[in-house]
Chain A
Amino acid sequence: MSMSTETFASIRRTALVAAALASITVGSEHAVAQTPRAPNGPIEITVGCGAGCTPDVLMRRAAKIWNDQRLISNPIVFDNRAGGGMAPAMKHVLDRRGDENSVMALAGPVFSTPITQGTETTYDKFTPLGVFVQTQLILLTQPNHPAKSLKEMVEAARARPKAIRLAGSSAGGTDDQVMGLIEKATGVDMTFIPHSGGGAALATFLGGNTELSLLTIDEALPQMQSGKARPLAIFNQARRTEANLKDIPTAKEQGVDVVWGQVFGLLGAPGLDPAVLAWWTDRIRALTASEAWKASIAENLLGGEVYVGPGLPAQMKLFHEQRLEVLRAIGAAKL
């Protein structure tokens, strides 16, 4: 994501303008002019994890705004197919070639599961519709830990290899990836302790069993405010500007060149009619231009970069390559 932030910031600005003139500009942006066409009947969004997981919450919020603001009149229903690193959910949508009503919620495992399980990549089999929301990550430590910054924590890890531990969710997941990136950037060796879920990992950290925890901003904030955890770094390109977050330095400014986040969006079935794709491009732009969506992004401390339109497949490839590189570096890749 680091390399492309600026490019896509400009695309996003274009998107905002485009949204105002949606029906005219969208067609002209495509290589082949397409008149956007809405699918018939209800749209089913397949989510590869249980109700309440991050992509589920994010897409339900998007769906609500789409329906409430009458940007999409089709009913939107959710189908949660948890487990198997999202493989069963992906298969469910991938099997529905050309189906205009089946949509998959994009989340990290869409990229990482094929890499860690050594199966064929899936991200490039879907028809990508848009990546339009990101969660940003904060590295936290125990309130009484002597290290005052990420820099000092890295030094502590250098002094005692493997002694600094991070409690995170599954092996190969985002937490594991970020720790791998820190290790790669600094050459230190730390210990990752996998858990069956984010809740269990948080319990391990709050019980004082590990030095580190990696949380999204909205998860981290209450722990910071109640003094149960202290932030060391945020993995954004630049600091957040909110009063309660502006003092958290980026990893980059502490000499640890790691910029990372989780990306979410929607993927269509393979071989989707370009007219329906054009309609989704248009609808995602309308959503992200709406005040309700912008308010939700701000309130929930999310990232709102929008990747839609002709540049999206190349961006998906980039996301894949970044994850492949990290997973190879931490020895979790079988591709």
Chain B
Amino acid sequence: MEAFDLLAQGFAVALTPTGLFSIFMGVLIGQIVGALPGLGPAAGMALLLPVTFGMDPNAAVMMLAGILYGGMYGGTITSVLINVPGESSSVMAAIDGHQLARRGRAGAALAVAAVGSFFAGVVGTVALAFAAVGLSAIALRFNAPEFFLLAVLGIIATASLGTGSPTKALLMGAVGLAIGAVGTDPISGNARLTFGNSYLVDGFDFLPVAIGLFGIAEVLVSLENVHAEKPITTRLRDMWMTSAEWAQSRMAVLRGSAIGFVVGLMPGAGATVAAFLAYVVERRFSRNPEMFGKGALDGVAASESANNSSVTGALAPMLALGIPGSTGTAVLLAALVLQGIRPGPTLMADQPILVWSLIASMFIGNVVLLVMNLPLAPLFAALLRVPYVLLAPAILVFSLVGAYAATMSFVTMVVAMGFGIVGYLMIKADLPRAPLVLALVLAPLLEESLRQSLLLSLGSPMIFVERPFALALLITVIVFLAMPFVLRRFSKAGV
């Protein structure tokens, strides 16, 4: 019952005018930076860090956290409307959400994302409030060997992405892994495949690649037959989600929230991996898996719920142990340090008001975000009624500004344009783009964790069998790999 007392005290702080103002500003800014491609929540928090200097620590943390989860709501908007992920974890929403938008269901996609995010945020916060310490302890048992197997599962799952042949999907996944190898060797620190170019030392960031492959490539293809592109004519009141659509997405929201939270707990896995895993799991459970990649509302629901709950999950190791699991939580920790608060395992005991007002603020913030997003979903969707000749240049400008904002360097704009052309050629050659992008996200996790595992075990591969979680994941990997062959055998035997 102690937790309830503390939570009540937290609400007392969060519900003061200052508290409410900070929450509102935080989620509003989060919504905006989330929607702007390139400028993610972490960058938005960093920009506001100096402002929080003079603020009361509780208010500062409530506002910064608001940006963090608010960004997850905002990221969906540009993904769905113009196929440009607002931030990296919204990439799955770009794939299916935009297909839905082209069928005039943008409103539904945005609405389900908002409801899913709200549910995920609230459930995640409850779990955070009552089990942060215990959950973080379990999360710590996930380390390099488990991350490696998780990444392997992801790579296998890329084969099921896209609508065409699995071979093509796997091939594109391999291309993504190869692109992911450019940059700095994560273990030795040596430059690799950079051809002496100092701009390639950090490798290809995922965001400009995704902006190019999805946003720009799409515009290029559409421009070929710009007069055939009919603006969407759906009436405003028909843009909301129907009850059938909601029924279809309910379970996806539930599963997405759970997966996202668990992945979020693991320091280093990240919201993008969470969204992706939720998406591929949902494809297995979905009643219409054939719709995935062509505009599956449940796919959008699962991935958007997952990225929001993963952000909440990532707060658990931060609050309970002082471990920042993502860039966003790292900025949040920095804000605490700047305020003279020392994060670590003693934080929850030393600063109960700070921690509990943060938790309380997240309940309030998620409600604010839901209220902000639901009525706006059809309005945003109505933007697509603008004729495509006007929309196309706007998307291009938006994409390139986003690429620039990510690093403040023109090089990323060139990268985005280059991958725009690559994406155009891939569409023409009927090659799926999603596996490439996801392999690029998974590549660093895959490589780093494999090599860390083998360093930890002093070279022995038995590390993947000796650890209980690793063993469970290894069995899952084997089952996934064997399933197609086994199923084929059974179906043959049946005939």
| Contacting residue for A210 out of B186, B340, B407, B456, CB 8 A | B456
Q: By the criterion CB–CB under 8 Å, are A209 and B456 in contact?
A: yes
Q: Does B241 make an interface contact (CB < 8 A)?
A: no
5 A-B pairs closest in CB distance: A222-B344, A52-B334, A51-B46, A171-B189, A226-B345
| Count of A interface residues, CB-CB < 8 Å | 53
Q: Mark B45-56, 1 if CB is under 8 A from A, else 0.
A: 111011001000
Find the A residue at minimum CB distance from B325. Answer: A199
Docked-complex contact A88 and B409, CB < 8 angstroms: yes
Other-chain residue from B198, B268, B343 in contact with A87 (beta carbon distance below 8 A)? B198
Interface string of A204-231 (1 = CB under 8 A from B): 1011111000000011011101101000
Query: Which residues 301-344 of B have a CB within 8 angstroms of A?
Result: 317, 321-325, 327, 329-331, 333-335, 337-338, 340, 342-344
Neighbour of B201 across the interface among A87, A172, A196, CB < 8 A: A87
Q: Is A332 an interface residue (CB 8 A)?
A: yes
Q: Using an 8 Å CB-CB cutoff, how does the interface string of B26-56 with A read, 1 for contact, 0 for none?
A: 0000000000000000100111011001000
Nearest A residue to B185, CB-CB: A171
Q: How far is the CB of A176 from chain B (nearest CB, A)?
A: 8
Query: Which residues from B are CB-within-8-Å of A225?
Result: 344-346
24 inter-chain pairs at a CB distance below 8 angstroms, sorted by A residue, are A51-B45, A51-B49, A56-B334, A60-B49, A84-B198, A84-B201, A85-B184, A87-B198, A87-B201, A88-B198, A91-B198, A117-B191, A163-B458, A172-B189, A193-B452, A194-B187, A196-B268, A199-B325, A199-B329, A203-B268, A209-B143, A222-B346, A223-B322, A332-B189
The one of B330, B345, B346 in contact with A52, judged by C-beta atoms closer than 8 angstroms, is: B330
A193 & B201 in contact (Cβ 8 Å cutoff) = no
Q: Is residue B202 within 8 Å, beta carbon to beta carbon, of the partner chain?
A: yes
Task: Check: A149 CB closer than 8 A to any chain B CB.
Answer: no
Among residues of A, the one whose C-beta sits closest to the C-beta of B456 is A209
A239 within 8 Å of B by Cβ? no
Output the least CB separation between A298 and chain B (Å). Answer: 11
A85 CB contact (under 8 Å) in B188, B201, B331: B201
Query: Is residue B444 contacting chain A, with contact meaning CB distance below 8 A?
Result: yes
- Minimum C-beta distance from A201 to chain B (A): 10
Chain B residues 129 to 143 lying within 8 A of chain A, measured CB to CB, are 140-143
B345 to A228, Cβ gap below 8 A?
Answer: yes
Q: Are A81 and B334 in contact (CB under 8 A)?
A: no
**Beta-carbon contacts under 8 Å, A131-172 to B:** 162-163, 165, 170-172
Q: With A and B bound together, what is the CA distance between A51 and B191 in angstroms?
A: 25
Who on chain A is nearest to B140 by CB? Answer: A207
Task: Name the one of B141, B186, B331 contacting A196, with C-beta atoms under 8 angstroms.
Answer: B186
In the complex, the chain A residue whose C-beta lies closest to that of B331 is: A52
Contact of A222 among B53, B186, B342 (CB under 8 A): B342
Is the CB–CB distance between A50 and B201 below 8 Å?
no
- Do A60 and B50 touch (CB < 8 A)? yes
**How many residues of B sit at the interface, in one of the four size bands?**
35 or more
By beta carbon, the residue of chain B nearest A173 is B189
A221-B342 contact given A51-B334, A202-B323, CB 8 Å threshold? yes
CA distance A202 to B50 in the complex (A): 27
* B345 & A223 in contact (Cβ 8 Å cutoff): yes
In chain B between 246 and 302, which residues have their CB closer than 8 angstroms to a CB of chain A? 267-268
Q: Is the CB of A57 within 8 A of B337?
A: yes
Given A117-B191, A194-B189, A226-B346, CB of A200 within 8 Å of CB of B337: no
Q: Is B144 an interface residue (CB 8 A)?
A: yes
Is the CB–CB distance between A206 and B408 below 8 Å? no
Which one of A53, A163, A197, A206 contacts B334 once the chains associate, using CB atoms below 8 Å?
Answer: A53
Point out the residue from A56, A193, A228 that lies within 8 Å of B455, measured CB to CB.
A193
Decide yes or no whether B401 CB sits under 8 A from chain A.
no
Determine if A223 and B344 form an interchain contact, defined as CB atoms under 8 angstroms apart: yes
| Residues in B neighbouring A84, C-beta threshold 8 A | 198, 201-202
The answer to whether A8 has its CB under 8 Å from any CB of chain B is no
A91, B201: Cα distance in complex, Å: 14
Q: Shortest beta-carbon distance, B389 to chain A, in Å?
A: 38
Q: Nearest chain A CB to B41's CB is how many angstroms away?
A: 12
CA distance A171 to B192 in the complex (A): 14
Known interface pairs A194-B189, A197-B330, A226-B345; A81-B408 also in contact (CB < 8 Å): yes
Residues of chain B with a CB closer than 8 A to A293's CB: none
Any A CB within 8 A of the CB of B156: no
> Smallest CB–CB gap between A89 and chain B, Å?
11
User: Are A203 and B344 touching (Cβ within 8 A)?
Assistant: no
